[in-house]
Amino acid sequence: MSTLTVTSIKKTGETASRDASGVAAAWVNFNGTGTVAIRDSVNVSSLSDNGAGDFTLNWLNNMSGANYSVTGTTEAFSITSTSTAVIGIKASTLPSASSVSMTTNRTSATATVEMAINLAVAHGDLA
């Protein structure tokens, strides 16, 4: 395999280029119910199930440090539900260069909940 080193990239047909560091360092789509399983991912080596709605994403290639950005989303409960589900960084466990812990929560309750469709993306520098 070859390595191509660039400072900016531009897709064929685009008029603007972007900084290569703005490209996602990792992303994952996983099932968070029952036996937690990754459906598809880039730079996620494994997913740890820490309990209902509590999981850890483990990076295949570490980040350069703990100061990177992670965002996530999860499925809605239903169209008629007054409660929604959110995914966020686990408050008691700070991100590290090798992993990040996240939870899925129902907005109308304080407990974590299992959700079938979970998506997360990380932006930052790889080590």
- How many Å apart are CA 22 and CA 123, to the nearest integer? 7
Domain range spanning residue 115?
37-123
The answer to whether residue 23 is domain-embedded is no
Q: Report which DSSP code applies to 53.
A: T
The answer to whether residue 17 is domain-embedded is no
| Number of domains, the chain | 1
| Residues 119 and 105: beta-carbon distance below 8 Å | no
Q: Report which DSSP code applies to 22.
A: G
The answer to whether residue 68 is domain-embedded is yes
Q: CA-based Rg of the chain, rounded to a whole angstrom? A: 16
Specify the pTM.
Answer: 0.83
pLDDT tens per residue, range 50-87: 999 999 999 999 999 999 999 999 887 666 566 677 88
Which pLDDT score, from 0 to 100, does residue 22 have? Answer: 73
- How many Å apart are CA 37 and CA 40, to the nearest integer? 9
